Structure 1
Amino acid sequence: MERVTITGGTGFLELNTGGRVALPPSLRIALATGQVRRPLADTLREMLALLVDGHYRLSGPHRMAEADELVPVTAWPDHDAGRVSYYRTAIRAGHRPVAIVLAGTRPLLLDGHHKITAYRAEGVPPSVVLISAAQPEYTDS
């Protein structure tokens, strides 16, 4: 698990705003192929810049058993059958595309609507990176 502090964030990804996230091509490819590199804070830099300022924990990718509780930021399920089919084929071949979830009382699916739809259709727990709020770390001075 990594800890990260966001300063100068845009606040675009607040739970009450919703909206579609435009990710840079390099991050989209990493998530689509499951090739998410460490440290997560570097890999997800563009996504994290959309959050409100604060302290966060990053973890994963790992399997999410309770994916049925995800709250999508766009229409669900997604209707792009071609993209869902692509991910279903990848999942059947053993690849694990990665979705991004903002953890909370009701976890918010930030990116990966097609992936989650494909995972559900294949009956496989999805691979996700979780972003969750964290308390600041204090050190004795």
Structure 2
Amino acid sequence: FCINARHDDSASRVMEITGRGSDIVIEAAGARQAVEQTLLLSRRAGKIALVGEFEGYLNLGVVGEVKLFTSYISPLEYPLALSLIAERKVDVKNLITHRFKLSEFKQAIETANNPLEKPVKVVITI
């Protein structure tokens, strides 16, 4: 499921669908409120991936044995990366190893977590 927080009360909707919270919560907006809300959406021992670009400090009262995964994305690197790709100095074709539709989200996550599939980048097309 993909829940749009603009139209739904995310926490209520997740509990309605799952009865316990989400196994995996992916926060991609980078907004403080969205990051803080991930704890309300995750089940006990769930996984939270923070991939949105966020600056600042958070005060998260982490409970429930959640596993928190973060990434580093610097806006300063975008122009150089795009330039190298545009000038064909870097071949990125082989970086995307798997492509899925949004309706295949579950299979995409399973593929990304399966080393036998040898995923580099798994893309979900919306």
- Tell me, yes or no, whether TM beats 0.5: no
TM-score normalised by the chain length of structure 2: 0.25
Higher relative contact order (CA 8 A, sep 6+): 1
